[in-house]
Structure 1
Amino acid sequence: MTPDLPPEPVPHDWPLPYEARLETRPLSQVDLVVIHCTELPDLPTAREYGERVIYDSGTGNSGHYYIDRDGSIHMFVRPGRVAHHTRSYNERSVGIELVNRGRYPDWLDSRRQEMEEPYTDEQVASLLWLLGRLRGEIPSLEFIAGHEDLDASRVPSSDNLHQLVFRKRDPGPRFPWSKVLAAVPLERIRP
């Protein structure tokens, strides 16, 4: 007898209002997936941040996919467009955001740099499914990294300008790298 398998996730197409303004690219240009956490309390807040227009092009910062705590997957930007999620790596990468509080709301406070919220089993299962799907859709995909691997810059902390903190720490110490790397044939890069 085979145990009941959970249903496959169904990604929800939820394009950002400015998606059509983002630069297009051939999928053959994509060789990297960058894992993020939202460092925000919930998906609606992450959506609100993603919709903010902050560039002259009429676009803002966003990942391609968002995975909520219940495992639901939401596509804000199609992979054939360049989303702004990781400085210097956007043209070659797909960004996946996991809803997680991270350091919210004191991102740069030196006294609050712990990232204590664990990722849910549902999020990790959906992430593994999505990574497998992306590998099938994007044959050039061969690398994976955390945002913290690619942006290790430090900035003055908000509570003490003489103390530096990491600008980005996501997906953070609670992310199950060993499980992800064992399940998905992508090489983790840490320039």
Structure 2
Amino acid sequence: MKLLPLAALSTAAALLAGCATAPPAGPRIDTTLSARSQSDRIKYIIIHYTVSDLPRSIKILTQQEVSAHYLLTDTEQPFFYTLVDESRQANHAGLSSWKIYNQLNSASIGIEIVNPGFVETPQGRVYAPFPPAQIDQLILLLKQIVARHDIKPENILGHNDIAPQRKQDPGPMFPWKRLADAGLVAWPEASRVAARLPLFQQQLPDVAWFQRKLAQHGYAVPQTGELDQATRNVMVVFQSKYRQSLYDGVPDAESAAILDVLTSPVPVMAIPPTVMPQPQPAPGTLPTE
């Protein structure tokens, strides 16, 4: 028998050992560290209506290019369909912007509500209301999403807020005030609006003022100083959210007061220092210096 050299035996043993050990399934990753500078990808919640009945809404949102994370039914006892996981992007916002963000699909959760939208009548456009039971369910879901992603109240928006030139949803019948009462969205304090109203009734700001304030609030609005159609469209969206009794797109004193309150920080009252009582001298003695 011919014996193999020691080096050959070592090489053979190494090869056999390699065959017995499976190759690594992926890169070696250490997860013990975490960067301080990071934030949740989700920063916005966008609310829509479907302008369709439930069966057609399901078909559109599951089989076509548009999608949403949640679909709220209009059944007697409304409930949600989960259509896209919150960790993934849904295609619901389209061409959109709010403050410094554009293309909000990548930074938002979309919620579609089954609602017929509006019909055109000889008296004008008539919007459909939202049943209270739907809004009850919506508020419950919004509170959960806000808790998961730390969404700021000013970042719960309508589709028309982020695309005022082409979208109307969720429309002037959507009860934003109910969301405000639930602590979910920012809302102008009525007493502050009333205090500012006489000032704007005496002298209405020019269009440039409205354009600057609307942009400060978050809207994409032209800064032309002219009441062009694009500016009127933004005014309609703003009024249909915060003053649903009249949303004609005309800058007026009440709209100015509401807008001024929304874009002005609440003044912080200075707390006067506590004055400690001075000790009084005993009867018959002189006060010391």
Match of 1:39 among 10, 29, 51: 51
Structure with more strand by fraction: 1
Distance in 2 (CA, whole Å) between partners of 1:45 and 1:27 is: 36
TM-score if structure 1 supplies the norm length? 0.66
Amino acid at match of 2:115: N
Match of 2:40 among 28, 44, 50: 28
Aligned pair 1:62/2:73, yes or no? Answer: no
Q: Indicate conservation of the 8 Å contact 2:127/2:171, yes or no.
A: no
Distance in 1 (CA, whole Å) between partners of 2:180 and 2:83 is: 25
Match of 1:95 among 110, 113, 116: 110
Query: Which whole-Å deviations, capped at 9, do the CAs of 1:40-61 have from their partners, x for residues lacking one?
Result: 1x121011111334xxxxxx21
Match of 2:83 among 73, 76, 81: 76
Distance in 1 (CA, whole Å) between partners of 2:41 and 2:73 is: 27
2:175 alignment counterpart: 176
Q: CA deviation at 1:113?
A: 7.0
Aligned pair 1:150/2:132, yes or no? Answer: no
113 and 103 in structure 1: CA distance in 2 versus 1, 3 angstrom threshold = farther
TM-score if structure 2 supplies the norm length? 0.45
Q: CA deviation at 1:176?
A: 0.2
Distance in 1 (CA, whole Å) between partners of 2:87 and 2:123 is: 37
Match of 1:28, SS state, is coil
112 and 79 in structure 1: CA distance in 2 versus 1, 3 angstrom threshold = farther
121 and 110 in structure 1: CA distance in 2 versus 1, 3 angstrom threshold = closer
Paired residues, number: 141
Distance in 2 (CA, whole Å) between partners of 1:27 and 1:131 is: 19
| Structure 2 gap segments, 5+ residues each | 1-37, 95-102, 188-216, 220-289
Percent sequence identity is 28
Distance in 1 (CA, whole Å) between partners of 2:181 and 2:40 is: 25
Q: Indicate conservation of the 8 Å contact 1:132/1:184, yes or no.
A: no
Q: Which runs of 4+ in 1 moved over 2 A?
A: 109-116, 184-190
Q: CA deviation at 1:190?
A: 4.3
Within 5 Å, give how 1:10-29 maps onto structure 2: 28-29=40-41
28 and 103 in structure 1: CA distance in 2 versus 1, 3 angstrom threshold = same
CA-based RMSD of the aligned residues comes to 2.5
Structure with more helix by fraction: 2
182 and 101 in structure 1: CA distance in 2 versus 1, 3 angstrom threshold = same
